[in-house]
Amino acid sequence: MTARLTQIWRFPIKSHGREALTEAQLAPGQTLPWDRHWAVAHEHSDADGSRWVRCNNFSIGTKAPLLAAITARLDEERGVVTLSHPDRPDLTFDPDSEGERLIDWTRGFVPENRAQSARVVRGETRGFTDSEFPSITIGNLSSHRAVEQRVGQPLSVHRWRGNLWFDGGAPWEEFDWMYREVQIGEAVLHVRERTDRCLATHNNPDTGTRDHDVLGALDSWGHRDFTVRAEVVRPGRIAIGDDVRCL
């Protein structure tokens, strides 16, 4: 069975909403276009967007489960984002000039014992992925089904916050791709590392509440990794339905 790309997701504002795409143009050494283009720095962070910093500088799902239920729509031409959440009316705003509206909209999402959201920052040179290099995460739906079976419940793939999802491979096949190149459509990506996982995987993406012990399920395989992080090394268009193959 041929492995094929089945889903493309980007997260315009880190941990504040996901958006489905049908295609994308990948560039060498860059994230998926507009992925984690903005992030929400908390009150104890000095992040200003001028350089990449670690995720603990931002309001994220590990600390604030309610953020997991946000979905997003980005108008690329206008630079305007619309966010939706089951507990809020939709918000349409410009993250570069109206960040305070997002801070107000998410008030109460971050627990009181956590550093509170303070400002929206834009990545001036790259997106705020969780890796020190501009990465794109690749997930295997067969591996996801293996985790579902271990948990004993259906799980949304959005728990993993992955960019590209393929189907038709063997469970955990993606871990065999380490330090190898993978072609998706016209683009080629170099797989650099496995994605280590945290409590954000316990967040239900529909409700923003914590439910299933996903980390415990991963522990049964002797690790807490899921999906792989890759770097684009050859540019090109990717689209749902493209073949995915390790070179």
Domains of the chain by start residue, with CATH: 4-12+24-30+131-246 (2.40.33.20), 38-122 (no CATH)
Which of 244, 183, 246, 247 is CA-nearest to residue 6? 244
Three-state DSSP class for 122? strand
Q: Is the pLDDT of residue 3 over 90?
A: yes
**Using an 8 Å Cβ cutoff, are 39 and 123 in contact?**
yes
Task: List pLDDT tens digits, range 178-213.
Answer: 999 999 999 999 999 999 999 999 999 999 999 999
pLDDT of 140? 98
Q: At 1, is the pLDDT very low, low, confident or very high (cuts 50, 70, 90)? A: low
Cα–Cα distance measured from residue 118 to residue 165, given in angstroms and rounded to the nearest whole number: 33
**pTM of full prediction above 0.75:** yes
